[in-house]
Structure 1
């Protein structure tokens, strides 16, 4: 789940025309029937080349078990996924099975794009609170593929070689985080930077929770202006103490994928990402990486971290093959053979039975992720519900105003008021 800043801006432009153009589509959507008489399902998803390869392998396994069904994968990179999907939906040509993430769930569900999958897919082995994140107004529009948590990743070797010490992550504060980042940069002679900045809304959500504030309160932001300014101050202090790159470099790095990050290129010792990205970061760096709890606000009574589905499978409300679409989703969620192929690529499997079946087959980095999630599970907040419609633009809005502050082009006081106004307008409904 990379930042997707460009993706969401484009997607909003495309989805804005759905209500107007949906009635103009000429097709019925879905896959229809292939020339050999088999039912054809179209399945849209995004990701890396590695994800495409394993997904195609899982599809072949499904087809072998269901010889009357052909599944056609519609794969794209992350940046173009939602723009392409919105265009297809607007043209009444939605795929039968749609991969979606929580930020886009309400937008598509509220437009009638998604089918209610309640009782259509076996969800008995999925935690009820995790499953509930895919439900809106009592209808189960999406089934979670797997779970992860927004966490701090660290390269212990680079920390130690910089003559710094890893923290006790059950006790450390944001001041400790800034100090450690600065020590790493200084101790390495500038060859390694302590950390890199992140504008992921999950980061701010965790920080706000530590202050007892929700990110959203209905169709508006629930955070106080002071909390947002305090969060920016952490990043300003990181830049000031050289614990993170300057504003220009931070902006440049922030637009790249995890394999091009400071952590991924072994030029930085820490960074914040979703826990299911530990494998990708470890592979890119070639180093042993670990996960840490996020630092806390001084005196906080909660760490603010939470479980969240990595993504969901959903079905088009217009599909002509609803039973087959549900059968494919059920396979991808519940079949141990599918789980053995996909492993933790879409988060640690949401099905407890599948997770038990594949945990010994997980790569070492993913075993670390599982151990970390198990260790902190009792501290994690319940998975948040799907955010308001329009929240898909939040990361773009947050990044723009955060960078204005980091570059010194706007004062925190001016930026916070403009950010809140624009963000609230986006999610007003």
Structure 2
């Protein structure tokens, strides 16, 4: 799903951190719900109407196969999901099964709020992709099972390119200069209403940029792993996009950031290129009514192997450490992750399945867009480097901080170098506070 920001998150996770710290003692799995005793699990996830309906089908199929386990659905939207999860976790009333994002794996798992799934007898990890398993691990514990992998890419709206009479780039060789030049041409052909490219100011954008320069956002030991000068060059590039009119004015970009997909510039065919995750291809094509071409990230040297891209789990299945029915929770998570029946319902909307047998089972049933995603992820595999480290405790709101400093630069309130220095200092403080 499209990543949304939350201005209150920093305060929220700070308050929750204290509450979670209190859960560390005595947070092991409770005696479980084996046998034929009927139990009820609460299952929380975020999604849109389509994903909610799809998830309910999986719940129905699971309950038919496991009549003694009832699932109480708790769907939500990204914007309010983490507020609610933080509140319920602090109140020792978290859902039994939780759809989790990677940037919160350490935040919740590292504070004792999640079960170590590797220690649950009802979960089979043998068919799971090893890299995908590692992406849900923190401090030698398996706090989440990947729902499927994806990659962060440039989505090109072919309808906008065709209207502007601009050819699609060769994404195996294009550079950032090429990206900017193409986007500028699209804007000039747009008559003041269409634009070339979105800015790209998510955490993944910064990670890809840093990796292209031999650095990373975090180190394996949970510290920052980049130079302020490299971060400054990231914001310099975004400012160049604005100044060359490759991207919309700051005011337009701000308004667009608050719009839903259906009302957004990309969703209404008013922007040629934007950054999305590969599992979103089908939704983008449905919304725009256009053919969308997935493109590799541009690089500094025109070599795809140096573009900094990586495989990332779309999201995770996790379980609360305070669940009164950990065995049943493990059974449900095992079904979601390893059952071909569940895979046939979920398909690739939460990423390409990490279980090789599930992927093989659903491949003949995939829609065209899903098949395209599977093929694309396979095609770029030789170029993909090792995934970045799992974000450490205290990093949950870093994405919001990146967005805030991007606004500061685009509105000329700070220079790229000042933004980079202040960003690094602020995040270092966030991580240090979390370690206390």
Pairs within 5 Å for 1:9-408: 9=10, 11-19=12-20, 38-118=38-118, 120=120, 121-217=123-219, 218-298=221-301, 302-408=306-412
Cα deviation for residue 88 of structure 1 reads 0.9
TM-score, reference length from structure 2: 0.92
Secondary structure of 1:18's counterpart equals helix
Tell whether the 8 Å contact from 1:262 to 1:269 is kept in structure 2 after alignment.
no
Equivalents in 2 of 1:68, 1:189: separation in Å? 61
Structure 1 CA distance, aligned partners of 2:424 and 2:89? 30
Question: 1:2 Cα deviation (Å)?
Answer: 2.5
**Pair 29,84 (structure 1): closer, same or farther in 2 beyond 3 Å:** farther
Q: 2 CA distance for matches of 1:299 and 1:181?
A: 17
Query: Unaligned stretches of 5+ in structure 1?
Result: none
CA contact (8 A) 1:30 1:96 kept: no
In 1, Cα distance between equivalents of 2:9 and 2:201: 14
Instruction: Provide the C-alpha distance between the structure 2 equivalents of 1:164 and 1:390, rounded to a whole number of angstroms.
Output: 44
Residues 380-420 of structure 1 show CA distances to partners (whole Å, capped at 9, x for unaligned) of 12233321111111111111111101100112222221111
User: Which 4+ runs in 1 deviate beyond 4 A?
Assistant: 19-23, 28-33
Give the deviation of 1:136 after TM superposition: 1.6
For 2:325 and 2:212, the matched residues in 1 are separated by 46
Bigger drift between 94-103 and 257-266 goes to 257-266
Residues 1:195 and 1:85: Cα distance change in structure 2 (over 3 Å): same
Establish whether residue 409 from structure 1 lines up as the match of residue 413 from structure 2.
Answer: yes
Deviation of the 1:29 alpha carbon? 9.8
Distance in 2 (CA, whole Å) between partners of 1:83 and 1:193 is 34
Cα distance in 2 between the residues matched to 1:20 and 1:366: 41
Secondary structure in 2 aligned to 1:237? helix
* Structure 1 residue 32, shift from structure 2 partner: 8.6
CA contact (8 A) 1:151 1:291 kept: yes
Q: Deviations over 1:308-357 (max 9, x none)?
A: 11111111112221111111001011111111111112111111111111
Partner of 1:389, secondary structure, is: coil
| RMSD of aligned alpha carbons | 2.4
- C-alpha change, 1:41 and 1:181, in structure 2 (3 Å) is same
User: Cα distance 1:219–1:202, how it changes in 2: closer, same or farther (>3 A)?
Assistant: same
Deviations 1:287-310 (A, max 9, x none): 110100000013666110000111
What CA distance in whole angstroms lies between the structure 1 residues aligned with 2:110 and 2:42?
Answer: 22
Deviation at 1:261? Answer: 2.8
SS at match of 2:41: strand
